[in-house]
Amino acid sequence: MKDGTLESPEIDSKRPWLLLVPSASLYVFTFAVPLIVLVAASFEKTTGGVTVSSFSTDNYQSFFADGVALRAVLHTLYLSFAIATCCLLFGYPVAMTMRRSGGRMRLLLLFFVVSPLLTSVIVRNVAWILVLGREGLINVAWRGLGLTTEPLRLMYNDLGVVIGVVHVYLAFVVLPVFASLMAIDPAVEESAASLGATRVRVFWHVTLPLSMPGVIAGFTLVFVLCVGLYLTPVVMGGNFVVTISMIIGDLVRTQFDMGRASAFAVMVLLIVAGLLWLSRQFGQRYGVGT
């Protein structure tokens, strides 16, 4: 009742949905509409920036026929898997340490994990060049100790790209894994230990399975983010590392072939959608997404 009048229950039930109008509108104009335009452009055949056919499947055929794009996709998936695996191998122990640490130590570890996200990607890559380059800190120290006369190849290859990206994306594994670990009741682990299980068995049969939701979420997030890598492979990999994002960028900037670029981008979206579906299927075994 308001000012002596009764409000309709039907109007009240609609009010929560009205709160979604601003975000839904933003979603439509910033994601749905551009996606529709992208799909439509992928069927346009362009030459020199001029559309010569309004509907053609040649762009999708070239994705599989020319060999370059398909190899770039496979290499991108390989890099994504390597980066996500390294993030998991390094991030899980950090998350475990954060769980067992006190408040101050936990905040300090969290700062070190998140701090790379607070700096520019250019600044991070330049910093890694100063460390991993031919005259970087590692090579200078290596030669100074007399361990080698030739500089180590730490950049302009897959290794340089993996190092540069793991440094940043480590946080996207640590945070969800840490949240899953904090949700585990310590009494469960203590019960297993009281029954004679060693620390290794407690971790392998209790802690790790119960933390799998965070592991799957972190691994999937890093993997999907890595599929769209562009700037770090350009800087840290030079011309020796080619990803599908670099191929798409070249089609837009130098060849002005918006049709093929759009088709390749759609194929990347489909690959990411397939990866998310596989992650969901695997995650349902551990109660993720159910």
Which pLDDT band holds residue 290 (cuts at 50, 70, 90)? very low
Mean pLDDT of 150-177: 91
Note the pLDDT tens digit of each residue in 109-153: 999 999 988 888 888 888 998 998 888 888 888 888 877 778 888
Domains (range + CATH), the chain: 66-286 (1.10.3720.10)
What is the phi/psi pair of residue 267, to 5°?
-65, -40
Which pLDDT band holds residue 9 (cuts at 50, 70, 90)? low
Q: Which amino acid is at 287?
A: G
CA distance linking residue 247 with residue 69, whole number of Å: 7
Note the pLDDT tens digit of each residue in 191-230: 888 888 888 899 998 899 999 999 999 999 999 999 988 8
Q: Who wins on pLDDT, 9 or 54?
A: 54
Cα dist. 93→86, 200, 201, 222 in Å? 12, 14, 16, 17
Predicted confidence (pLDDT) at residue 26 exceeds the cutoff of 80: yes
Diameter over CA atoms, the chain:
90
Other residues' Cβ atoms within 10 Å of the Cβ of residue 46: 21
- 174, HSE (Cβ side, Cα atoms, 13 Å): 23
Predicted confidence (pLDDT) at residue 81 exceeds the cutoff of 90: yes
Share of the chain above pLDDT 70, in %: 91
Residue with tokens 């994601």: 31
